[in-house]
Structure formats: C-alpha cells, structure tokens
Amino acid sequence: MCGIAGFYTTERLPAPTEVLRRMSDTIAHRGPDAQGQWFDPAHGVALAHRRLAIVDLTEEGRQPMRSASGRYTITFNGEIYNFLRIRADLHGLGHQFRGHSDTEVMLAAFEEWGLEPSLQRFIGMFAFALWDSAKSELTLARDRLGKKPLYYSLTGGALVFGSELKALRAFPGFDDNIDRQALTLLLRHSYVPAPRTIYAGVSKLQPACFARFAVRRHSVVRLEHRCFWNAAEVQAAASANAGSIQPGDVTNELGELLKDAVRLRLIADVPLGAFLSGGIDSSLVVALMQALSSRPVRTFTIGFNEDEYNEAHHAKAVARHLGTDHTEMYLTPQETLAVIPKLPLLYDEPFADSSQIPTALVCAMARQHVTVALSGDGGDEAFGGYSRYAQARDIWRRMSRVPSWLLRTMSQSIPHVPMTFWECMATLCGPVGRGKLRADGFAYRVARRADRLGCATPQQLYRHLMSYWVAPLKVVVDGQEPSTLLAAAAQKNDLDQFTDQMMLLDTLMYLPDDILVKVDRASMAVALEVRAPLLDHRVLEFAWRLPLALKLQDGRGKLVLRRLLSRYVPEELFERPKAGFAVPICRWLRGPLRDWAESLLDEQRLKSEGYLNPMPIRSVWQSLLTARSEWGYGADLLWSVLMFQAWLERLRYDEEPKACDSPHPRRVLSRAAGATILMCRE
C-alpha cells in the first residue's frame, strides 16, 4: 500500500527530478517507509513511489521497479493478494525472482502474458503506472472495484498523475479551475462521481479500466481507454444463470469462497488486525479471520457517549464471543470535532459523507497497534444490505396506486405551502399519533418528499432517494448537471430488475466514489492499509448469481451472510436494525460548530466567491437553527456545502513555497497564457 505520482511530457522542465520530488512529497503520508524515483530523460517519463512496506520489507521490494528484461518499469499502489499463486505459475514457466514482493510478480506477469490478460488474473486492489520501453507507452490502470485511487490530467501536451490531487497540484502550471458541473454533482450526491473531479482539467481513472498514452505529434495523447472487467455485463450474465445454484449449497459455497478471500488478505509481513462494529459484515470477516488464526485477532472499535450513535457495546459482545484481542476507545466530543478542520486537506477534494469523521478516528486508533486492518466494506452492495432497497420498492408500489395526474399535482403544489403550515399540522396531529410526529421533522419530510411524487419510474425514484440537494442547479451559480450512471438509469422503467439495478448502481457509483474514497483517505492519512474481503470480485460475482430471495426478503437483506455468520456468532448478538456509522452533525451545527458554519455560510461571502447561490442555502441554515427539536432540518444538505466551503478556504490559502523568491507563503491567484501570477502574503 503506497502512493504514486509522475508525469509524461514532451516539454523540457527546468528541474524534472525536483518536480517529481515535490509531487512525491505531497503524498508522503501514504508511504512513510521509503521513497523512490525513476526518470527517463530521453522520453520525458518520470515515476515516483512512496512506500508503506507490507510484503517483502527488504530492498528487493522497493519501487519504482524494473522487470527482469528491462522492458517494463512500474510504480504501484495496492496489493495483489493471489501473487503467490501467480508466482508459482510463472516459476513453472521459467521465471526467476530476486525477492518475494507482489510487484515483481506483476512485472513478470506482464512480460509473460501481456497487460490485459494479467489484469484478468489479479485478485487485489491496485492503481499503477506502467512504462513500456518497447512501445514507448505509459499505461495507467485501476482495480475492478476502484479501491485504490488514481487521478490524471492531460493538458498542455503533458500527462500528470497521482494517487491524490495534491500530487498533481505540485506540477508546474497546474490548472486549478473549479468545475461547476462537478460542484452540482457534489451537492446532489455528497461526492464527485468518476470520471470527474472538482478541477475542470483533471479526471479520475474509472474502476476496472486502463488507459494507454504515447507521444503523437509532439504531445502526449491518450491512445486507448478500456475496461478489462465490465460489472454490468458480468452481473447480467451471472443473473441469467441464477438458477444454477442450489439453495442448499449456497451457504457452504459462500463460506469457502469468503474463507479463501480472507486467507489471501492475511498475507503480510507486518502486524494485522480488523475493524469490528458488531454488524453482520465486520463480524463475519472477524469470525473467519479468527477461524484461520492460531492466536487472538486484534480488533478495533470506537464508541460514542451518545447512545443513539454508539455501537461499541455490540462489537464488544461479538469480540468476547469470538475471543479476539479487542481494543475500544470512547471518543469525547472534543476529540471528534477536532477532526473537522483537517477534512479538506485529508480528502483533497470536497467530500461530504459525514461518516468520514468516525472513519478517520478509528483508522488513527488502529494504526497505533497494526499496519494492516481488514474491514467489512462491500456486503451491503453485494447482498442487499441497505434498507433503501426494500424501501424504494415499497414506496413505488404505494405511489403506483395513486393516479399519476394527482401525484404530479401534489408534487407541484406542496413546495408552495409554507413550512410553518406543516409544522402546525404536525403539532396538532402529534398527540393523535401518540407523539410520533415531531413538528420540524414532519415538515422536513414533507418538503423532501414532494419532488418524489413527480417521479415517473422506479429508477427516477431511486435517484431521488440517493440525492441530497434534489435541485442542485438552483444552488450552483452558472452550474450544469452532467449525466451520470444514476441519471442515465433513471430513464429506464423496469420494476422486475429494479432491486438488482439499485445494487449495481451502488457498486458502480456509491461504493467507489463514496465508501472507498472515505476509507482510503482516512486510512492512508495515517499509513494504515485496509483490506476488504467482501470486495473480492469473486465474492461479488457469486452474489450476482444468487436469486434475490437469498439476499433480500421481507425487508431484511444479507440473508445468506446472516446464515453463514450464525455458524460462528449467536444470532442475538447481531440481529438488530442496521445503524450505520453516523455522527450527530445536526446537533453539532446548532452547537459547537455553529460559529464555524455561520462563517462559511455567510451571505456576503457566498456572493463574493460566486460559486453558490446564498438564498436556498441560508433558508436551509435558518430552518435548521430555528427547528424546535434536536432533529433539525437540512444538516445533510448543508454538510456538502460546508465541505465545499471549507475546501475552498483551504485552497485559497494553499502554500507553494518555491513559486517565487519571497520567503513568505503564497498562493496562486490565476494562470493565464502559461504565466503564473502570485500573491505573497505576510
């Protein structure tokens, strides 16, 4: 697990190795154990590597690494979990190895089978840049599920790439124009979906894809962009053969497959443990780890003093039953809130999943004891774990009973009714409903669900359920909302395949661009490698072969995972409603974070910056502040705005220490015609 960066350019840089070093230094947190650089001046190719040593801690595992023949040079971030099996195959074909790293095995595989056949063989998480000296081509590639990040920019005749945007910003002449289309997507989803980034000229390489670059007519151009694994096609083919699996064999077959996935992820030359929340996914991963281990597994969880957000006691009960070496830490509000100012630097582009806060904290705690941690990520998307899958079908069935013209009329009329009316209605009806209606909560739900009534297909409904700001164009100044996989799917009308479509869309968007971004940045900020056995692509393909009834039934998801877990843990320890990894954002915004939020949401500030329309934002902010209960209104909407504003503030004062002769910190104000205009600040 590491960080990578580099460039490929036809331009002569004044000090190319110094540029490469600066790019590498920005991601030093991803690999504190060693650094390496490789530069080919004849072709203008430079590769940098920051190493977090996990397998083969010797000098033989250092990168960038050249293949035995000298044809290939690679800088690689991630792990190839089945490298020992591939190494045995290659050894049988006559290949010899200097060390025992997976990187060396990758290079031998490329020499033996070529790029794409090798990618098909790899089980792992990876992002890499591969220079082919025989073809004078540079290839960027990313793993099937997008567990490891890779950003790139192809502007001005140069290709620049890195594990984080920080590395690209260190390249001379980097264009930091903000993409307003990406900003609209951020407000809708709370993250920026691939291939876009917050910068107009930078892209994320999409999961399961590789791109080849070469010099043509004195500029670096992209020759090819192709997927080596198409999730939609694989899911469709697997679903077509769903009847081939016998229900009586499912639990046993899945158990063996998951045990192998866990076994492969236990290979490490450093201390290893696991996150344990007490939920189904993490408990199953830990149970399998313990079954494969001769000594107690190290497990970690964090707890909150607020009962409605605390799951630590559930994790402790599972750990006690399995006999793990368990560590828990209860966080004070001060410790939790102290993370928030660090988020813009940590996540590098605006990112607004509030569970980023506890994720960063549990990673920091685990890193004090281990270098590798296994997680339960992936179970919800593969096995129907999110409650919204059942809720979406239920909502659509109820909407289908109402004439479409009436739904449209209600959708158009409700937004014009004052919020105070709904608050009064809830207050009057509250006693009748045995206190279940809270005035501000009811008003919020009415406001949020009005647009839902106008959805013409179940797919449109799901897009609405997955949206925060449902009309982001009203918030972003001069914004346009580009199409995404979720938006394209909303044009379909297929209730029969609706649940499978929801899970696939989450696998293609929500998983790589939210969940995995959250975990990667939080873990790599403290140089912790996180491995997810449930995201083994073989497990995902197996799940797609299962009939829906074995995954989701009567509103309960992950049925087959529950059955498997019950072999290791009593059901009473894990059978409870899904809680998630939530934090009391609303309470914080109305309390200790109020001054911070007020500063970022100031009307004049929003106007002067010119990115966001103050009116809808201030309206939501006032509604949250004046709500009569702690539930509040709109904290989830405001968090995406606040994360953008905090990121923008960080960008405004970003330091570039060697950009001019003045010793004072400075920032780039603008770039025009290739010239950099700087302001030095005292």
Assess whether pLDDT exceeds 90 at residue 499. Answer: yes
Closest of 12, 367, 331, 19 to residue 162, by C-alpha? 19
Which of 507 and 574 is assigned the larger pLDDT?
Answer: 507
Q: In the chain, pLDDT over 70 holds for what percent of residues?
A: 88
| Cβ partners under 8 Å of residue 607, min gap 6 | 614
Kindly list the distances between the CA atom of residue 367 and the CA atoms of 109, 291, 481, 524, 530, in Å, as whole numbers in the listed order.
33, 23, 39, 10, 10
Overall number of domains in the chain? 2
Are residue 261 and residue 198 in the same domain, yes or no?
no
User: What was the pLDDT predicted at 334?
Assistant: 86
What is the span of the domain harbouring residue 225?
2-229
User: What was the pLDDT predicted at 64?
Assistant: 97
Closest of 163, 161, 139 to residue 149, by C-alpha? 163
Give mean pLDDT, residues 517-544: 97
Mean pLDDT of the chain: 88
Are residue 254 and residue 143 in the same domain, yes or no?
no
Are residue 178 and residue 250 in the same domain, yes or no?
no
Residue 448 binned pLDDT confidence (cut-offs 50, 70, 90): low
Task: Among 206, 229, 252, identify where a domain stops.
Answer: 229
The token duo for 363 is: 């990673």
CA distance 628 to 631: 8
CA atoms within 13 A on the CB side of 363: 23
Are residue 267 and residue 206 in the same domain, yes or no?
no
CA distance 210 to 140: 5
Are residue 12 and residue 91 in the same domain, yes or no?
yes
Task: Among 573, 593, 623, identify where a domain stops.
Answer: 573
**Residue 103 sits in a domain of what CATH number?**
3.60.20.10
Give mean pLDDT, residues 153-162: 92
Please indicate, yes or no, if residue 616 is contained in any of the structural domains: no
Q: Which amino acid is at 563?
A: R
Residue 437 binned pLDDT confidence (cut-offs 50, 70, 90): very low
Are residue 308 and residue 360 in the same domain, yes or no?
yes
Are residue 38 and residue 137 in the same domain, yes or no?
yes
Kindly list the distances between the CA atom of residue 62 and the CA atoms of 29, 84, 524, in Å, as whole numbers in the listed order.
17, 18, 19
User: What was the pLDDT predicted at 672?
Assistant: 27
User: What was the pLDDT predicted at 208?
Assistant: 98
Are residue 280 and residue 209 in the same domain, yes or no?
no
pLDDT digits (tens, 9 = 90+) for 116-153: 999 999 999 999 999 999 999 999 999 999 999 999 99
For the ranges 247-251, 464-468, 560-564, the lowest mean pLDDT is seen at 247-251
Global pTM value: 0.91
Element holding 395 (H helix, E strand)? helix 387-400
User: What was the pLDDT predicted at 677?
Assistant: 24
Please indicate, yes or no, if residue 468 is contained in any of the structural domains: no
Give mean pLDDT, residues 491-509: 91
Q: Which residues are 315's β-sheet partners?
A: none
Please indicate, yes or no, if residue 601 is contained in any of the structural domains: no
Are residue 157 and residue 94 in the same domain, yes or no?
yes
Residue 444 binned pLDDT confidence (cut-offs 50, 70, 90): low
Please indicate, yes or no, if residue 290 is contained in any of the structural domains: yes
Give mean pLDDT, residues 181-201: 97
Task: Among 182, 207, 229, identify where a domain stops.
Answer: 229
User: What was the pLDDT predicted at 326?
Assistant: 96
Kindly list the distances between the CA atom of residue 132 and the CA atoms of 64, 129, 157, in Å, as whole numbers in the listed order.
13, 10, 19
Q: Say if CB 192 and CB 182 are below 8 A apart.
A: yes
Q: Tell me the chain's radius of gyration from C-alpha atoms.
A: 25
Please indicate, yes or no, if residue 199 is contained in any of the structural domains: yes
User: What was the pLDDT predicted at 422?
Assistant: 59
Please indicate, yes or no, if residue 413 is contained in any of the structural domains: no
Q: What share of the chain is helix, strand, coil (3-state, %, to 5)?
A: 45, 20, 35
Please indicate, yes or no, if residue 470 is contained in any of the structural domains: no
Are residue 167 and residue 130 in the same domain, yes or no?
yes
**Residue 288 sits in a domain of what CATH number?**
3.40.50.620
Assess whether pLDDT exceeds 80 at residue 577. Answer: no
